Amino acid sequence: MLYRTLGRTGVQVSALALGAMNFGSIGRTTQDEATAMVDAALEAGINLIDTADWYSTGGSEEMVGKALAGRRDDVVLATKASMPMSDDPNHRGASRRWLVAELDHSLRRLGVDHVDLYQIHRWDPATSDEETLSALTDLQRAGKIRYFGSSTFPAYRIVEAQWAAREHRLSRYVTEQPSYSILQRGAEAHVLPVAQEHGLGVLAWSPLASGWLSGAVRAGRDITTHRSTVLPQRFDLSRPSNQARMDAVERLAVVAEEAGLTMIQLALGFVTAHPAVTSAIIGPRTMDHLRSQLAAAQTVLTADVLDAIDTIVAPGVDLAPEEKVDAPPALLDPSLRRRHGAGPAGVGTAP
The b-or-e profile of 207-216 (16+ CB within 10 A means b, else e) is: bbbbbbbbbb
Q: Which residues contact 142 (CB under 8 A, 6 or more apart)?
A: none
H/E/C letters for each residue in 35-52? HHHHHHHHHCCCCEEECC
Give the span between the Cα atoms of 119 and 149, in whole angstroms.
Answer: 5
Give the span between the Cα atoms of 22 and 227, in whole angstroms.
Answer: 10
Distances (CA, A) of 191 to 180, 225, 308: 10, 30, 23
Q: Which of 55, 118, 147, 180 is catalytic?
A: 55
Q: What are phi and psi of 23, to 5 degrees?
A: -75, 120
Q: Which residues contact 37 (CB under 8 A, 6 or more apart)?
A: 18, 29, 67, 284, 287, 290
Start-to-end CA distance of the chain, whole Å, equals 63
The b-or-e profile of 160-178 (16+ CB within 10 A means b, else e) is: ebbebbeeeebbbbbbbbb
Give the span between the Cα atoms of 125 and 57, in whole angstroms.
Answer: 22
Give the span between the Cα atoms of 120 and 81, in whole angstroms.
Answer: 5
Q: How many CB atoms lie within 10 A of CB 182?
A: 27
329, 131, 206, 10 alpha-carbon torsion, rounded to 10°: 140
Active site residue 55: yes
Active site (catalytic) residues: 55
